[in-house]
């Protein structure tokens, strides 16, 4: 499981790469395991067309802020992978 320094490095890397980019589409992930509290349809209804405003970290969670006060919270789980 990634520790805090690795999660902070991930947040910093995402900040440099995705702030200001717009979500075009959602799909192609193993949704039940990757997003147990949401569905692909829910994400498709909310995220496409929104621009990433900020990326932060709270503990071991990654926080992505979008326009219209929408947020996506992620965790790197045991593998440490972020897709």
Q: Model pTM?
A: 0.84
Q: What pLDDT score was predicted for residue 70?
A: 95
Residue 10 and residue 79: Cα distance in Å, rounded?
Answer: 14
User: What backbone torsions phi and psi does residue 9 show, to the nearest 5 degrees?
Assistant: -65, -40
Q: What pLDDT score was predicted for residue 31?
A: 57
Write down all domains in the chain, each with its CATH number in brackets.
Answer: 4-75 (3.20.190.10)
Q: Band the pLDDT of 27: cuts 50, 70, 90.
A: confident
Q: What pLDDT score was predicted for residue 3?
A: 87
CA atoms within 13 A on the CB side of 69: 0
Q: What pLDDT score was predicted for residue 54?
A: 98
- At 80, list the tokens: 């440490």
Q: What is the pLDDT of residues 34-65, one digit of tens each?
A: 777 888 888 899 999 999 999 999 999 999 99
């Amino acid at each position: 499981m990634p520790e805090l320094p690795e999660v902070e490095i991930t947040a910093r890397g995402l900040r440099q790469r995705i702030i200001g980019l717009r979500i075009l589409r959602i799909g192609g992930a193993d949704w039940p395991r990757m997003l147990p509290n949401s569905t692909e349809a829910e994400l498709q209804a909310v995220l496409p067309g929104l621009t990433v405003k900020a990326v932060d970290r709270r503990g071991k969670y990654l926080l992505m802020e979008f326009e219209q006060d929408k947020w996506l919270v992620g965790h790197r789980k045991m593998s440490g992978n972020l897709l």
